[in-house]
Amino acid sequence: MKALRKHGWITGLAVILALLFVATKLIQPTFGASGVESLARAALPFAFATVAQAVVVIAGGIDLSIASMMAVCSVTAAVLMEGNGGAASLGIVFLVLAMGAAMGALNGLLIVVTRVPDIVVTLAMLFVWEGVALLILNAPGGDAAEWMRGLIIGGLPIPGLGGVPRALVVLLIVVALVWVPIRRARVGLSIYAVGSDALAAFRSGVNVGRTRIVAYGLAGLFAAFGGLSLTLSTGIGEPIPGPYLLASVAAVVLGGVVLGGGKGGLLGPLIAVFILRLVRMDLTLLSVDPNVSAIIEGTIMVVVVMIGGLLAAKGKL
Amino acid sequence: MKTLFRTTTWAAGLTLGLASMAAAEYTIGISNTVQGNGWREEMICAMKAQALVSGKVDSLNIAHRNTDAAGQSEDIRNLIEAGVDAIVVNPANPDGIADAVTEATEAGIVVVAVDQGVNADAAYVLSNNQEQYAYLGAKWLFEQIGGSGSVVYMRGAAGAAADDDRHKGFTRALEEYPDVSVAQEVFTGWQQDKGKQQILDYIATGIPFDGIWTSGIDNVIVDALVESDVDLVPVVGADNAGFVGQLASVEGLEGAAVTNPGSIGGAGVTLALRILDGETPEERVVLVDPALWANTDEAGKAKIAEAQNPDLDPEWPVSVQIDGWTDYSMEEIIACKGPGE
């Protein structure tokens, strides 16, 4: 009970997600494993974009260039994988991940060195990375290694759980492998400390500048995973960034990460991604007017965050 | 006698009712990835109007939002989950959505791609020939400026598949006219305000140019020329209502409209319904070739005069019908109502 209260927001989100699954089943009785698999695959790039944004927001910043960095990584992977579908593609993945981390770190470095606000620097970098993506590939194209595409398509038979979507397994493994060790290390604590109160963190001996660069570098790394997931799910690279920036901010807010920094985790935003994708699916299943769909999605988000805010103010979360 | 009449009327009514129920039997899914663009809005309205007048569509399930190939794949998979009978899709990219389209056809769903092709063998394609669209207009423009000079090249959206196809057509025409050069190349993003600002910026530089090729952002370009009080140069645009109106009314303007019917969406619905009814076409891919209407020749002038339609939004193509493929009236497409609305 204490744990439930401590993680009240996440519990609430999990309940909403469960209710949405029930609602989906009621709307479309044939909704089953294939639907969940489609959902997981659709959520993958959104989830990586959201995780990337969450890390930066926890550190007290914001990165408006995440979708553009995803586009750069996606087109780079697609161009390099064309004709290199074998073992070489594994090297390409590591190269793209390193590139993503470097792009993110460069964002952080510019913010720390120039002392220009995060929102201004990353807005400028949004255009820079967008241009870089178009320079690498001026129109959708390239290729993706078939064996690698298979990693996120279909279900993985897990005893006791049946077929778990591979996309979900990949997402959880990547986030756990990258975030859990960092969260438990000094650098993780520093990210939260800097986001909570940079001055207090500095007085406590935290290297604020380096921590912020690490946070942006991590965001770049997760954005690279997002770009790779786009290439793997479509089989091509697209230089025009998709709708991942605003979606990532929405999921971060809905996921319980405080925009001021220092509070929240990655599990909440990840559940929020699935909630938002499932709402989108339900609206399609219900044949809701597409113009109205956007209004409903926004309204749901505002209402949930408002209720959460009220409960938090009353000390119930 | 009265009873017999009542019974007969009731039976006739029931038969008609059952017939109409049996007729409106299909659910059609629609997937589109550009929202708020006149051409795409006309395409959606053509789909709705055709579905309505066909009498065979029970409901339309429309996934219409700004997204990429991954987002469109999500929409297509959601439409598969919704159990639609057919999907009419304007692909974000021919390769990017191929997997989702194949999943749909494997689930027994008829898939028709309109406007652009899709690289999935089981899908049907009813597409405007984008490369030819650009080639026709560019060739006319280069001829009009006497085979030499410089032109402003106002493209669509950077990285978009349709823009890439059009660029191939423009480049092909440019290679045929070695004395023509591109003075300025810009991406309008198919946005009216952006395109107008770009041409105003270029006019402000004072660098002379002999013609303008646009990828469909056209009437605002003519507006900019007129407002800036500069010499009018030949302009190529699409068959959008606003531009076609200018071709007939702006004094001294030489221009050509290349057809690019948004009503291809209605044709896609017709094709999907024919296939569902068992009429499978001989060819899986049908390319609709564009036509050029120039206000510098009599045939073009006649076409332009015939196409004038002040009721249409300036951004909507005037080719609201495709013979043999669409049955709705002008009022029905403007009303933009589908079955059940």
CATH (domain of B242): 3.40.50.2300
Whichever domain contains A80, its CATH number is: 1.10.3470
Q: What is the pLDDT of residue A287?
A: 86
* CB within 8 Å: A281 and B78: yes
Number of domains in chain B: 2
Considering only the beta carbons, identify the residue of B35, B61, B75 that sits closest to A287. B61
pLDDT confidence band for A56 (50 / 70 / 90): very high
Q: What is the pLDDT of residue A161?
A: 63
* CB within 8 Å: B82 and A287: yes
Q: What is the pLDDT of residue B17?
A: 43
Considering only the beta carbons, identify the residue of B74, B92, B159 that sits closest to A239. B159
Q: Six-digit token pair at A252?
A: 């971060």
Mutate to test the interface with A, among B77, B85, B336 (most CBs of A within 10 A): B77
Q: What is the pLDDT of residue B8?
A: 44
Task: Evaluate whether residue A172 is within a structural domain.
Answer: yes
Tell me what the mean pLDDT of segment B78-107 comes to: 94
The answer on B239 and B176 residing in a single domain is: yes
Q: What is the pLDDT of residue A77?
A: 96
Contact residues on chain A for B65, CB-CB shorter than 8 A = 290, 293-294
Cβ atoms of residues B89 and B76 within 8 Å: yes
pLDDT in tens, B10-42: 444 444 444 444 456 899 999 999 887 888 999
Contact residues on chain A for B190, CB-CB shorter than 8 A = none
What is the Cα–Cα distance from B110 to B274, expressed in whole angstroms? 10
What is the Cα–Cα distance from A154 to A156, expressed in whole angstroms? 7
Per the listing, tokens 């009814």 go with B277
pLDDT confidence band for A297 (50 / 70 / 90): confident
Tell me what the mean pLDDT of segment A6-16 comes to: 87
Q: What angle do CA B3, B5, B7 make, to 5 degrees?
A: 65
* CB within 8 Å: B161 and A280: no
The answer on B219 and B73 residing in a single domain is: no
H helices present in B24-157, as ranges: 38-54, 69-81, 98-106, 130-144
Q: What is the pLDDT of residue B11?
A: 45
What is the Cα–Cα distance from B231 to A119, expressed in whole angstroms? 43
* Global pTM value: 0.85
pLDDT at A313 over 80: no
Sheet holding B235-238, edge to edge: B180-187, B149-155, B211-214, B235-238, B255-258, B292-294
Task: Evaluate whether residue B295 is within a structural domain.
Answer: no
Q: Which of A1-10, B77-86, B244-253 has the lowest mean pLDDT?
A: A1-10
What is the Cα–Cα distance from A69 to A106, expressed in whole angstroms? 12
* CB within 8 Å: A139 and B164: yes
pLDDT at A245 over 60: yes
The answer on B275 and B249 residing in a single domain is: no
The answer on B189 and B162 residing in a single domain is: yes
Task: Evaluate whether residue A301 is within a structural domain.
Answer: no
The answer on B267 and B253 residing in a single domain is: no
B74 interfacial to chain A (CB closer than 8 Å):
yes
Task: Evaluate whether residue B341 is within a structural domain.
Answer: no
The DSSP secondary structure of A147-213, one letter per residue, reads HHHTTTSSEEEETTTEEEEHHHHHHHHHHHHHHHHHHHSHHHHHHHHHHH-HHHHHHTT--HHHHHH
B78 or A87, which is more confident?
Answer: B78
Domain that holds residue B28: 2-128+262-289+319-335
Tell me what the mean pLDDT of segment B160-172 comes to: 91
The answer on B134 and B123 residing in a single domain is: no
pLDDT confidence band for A5 (50 / 70 / 90): low
ipTM over 0.90: no
The answer on B63 and B168 residing in a single domain is: no
**Non-local CB neighbours of B234 within 8 Å, separated by 6+ positions:** B141, B144, B145, B210, B211, B212, B254, B255, B256
The answer on B269 and B247 residing in a single domain is: no
* CB within 8 Å: A240 and B159: yes
Considering only the beta carbons, identify the residue of B35, B69, B79 that sits closest to A284. B79
pLDDT in tens, B285-331: 888 888 999 999 999 999 999 999 888 888 889 988 888 899 999 89
Task: Evaluate whether residue A295 is within a structural domain.
Answer: no
Task: Evaluate whether residue A181 is within a structural domain.
Answer: yes
Q: What angle do CA A265, A267, A272 make, to 5 degrees?
A: 110
Q: What is the pLDDT of residue B148?
A: 96
* CB within 8 Å: B82 and A284: yes
pLDDT confidence band for A317 (50 / 70 / 90): low
* CB within 8 Å: A240 and B97: no
* CB within 8 Å: B99 and A230: no
Contact residues on chain A for B161, CB-CB shorter than 8 A = 139-140
Task: Evaluate whether residue B312 is within a structural domain.
Answer: no
Task: Evaluate whether residue B340 is within a structural domain.
Answer: no
The last residue of one of the domains, among B240, B258, B276, is B258
Q: Six-digit token pair at B211?
A: 């013609």
Element (H, E) at A292: helix A290-313
Task: Evaluate whether residue A299 is within a structural domain.
Answer: no
B79 interfacial to chain A (CB closer than 8 Å):
yes
Considering only the beta carbons, identify the residue of B66, B77, B83 that sits closest to A42. B77
The answer on B268 and B237 residing in a single domain is: no
B282 interfacial to chain A (CB closer than 8 Å):
no
Task: Evaluate whether residue B201 is within a structural domain.
Answer: yes
Minimal Cα distance from B72: which residue of A? A42
Minimal Cα distance from A230: which residue of B? B70
Tell me what the mean pLDDT of segment A57-77 comes to: 97
Contact residues on chain B for A280, CB-CB shorter than 8 A = 74, 78
A74: left (phi over 0), alpha (psi -120 to 50) or beta: alpha
pLDDT confidence band for A315 (50 / 70 / 90): low
pLDDT in tens, A111-155: 999 999 999 999 999 999 999 999 999 888 899 998 999 999 888
The answer on B253 and B134 residing in a single domain is: yes
The answer on B149 and B243 residing in a single domain is: yes
What is the Cα–Cα distance from B160 to B90, expressed in whole angstroms? 13
Number of domains in chain A: 1
The last residue of one of the domains, among B258, B280, B297, is B258
Domain that holds residue A128: 2-288
Task: Evaluate whether residue A19 is within a structural domain.
Answer: yes
Considering only the beta carbons, identify the residue of B63, B69, B70 that sits closest to A290. B63
Task: Evaluate whether residue B6 is within a structural domain.
Answer: yes
Task: Evaluate whether residue A314 is within a structural domain.
Answer: no
Q: What is the pLDDT of residue B327?
A: 92
Sheet holding B285-288, edge to edge: B57-64, B26-32, B86-89, B110-114, B124-128, B285-288
Cβ atoms of residues B44 and B336 within 8 Å: yes
* CB within 8 Å: B97 and A234: yes
The answer on B160 and B65 residing in a single domain is: no
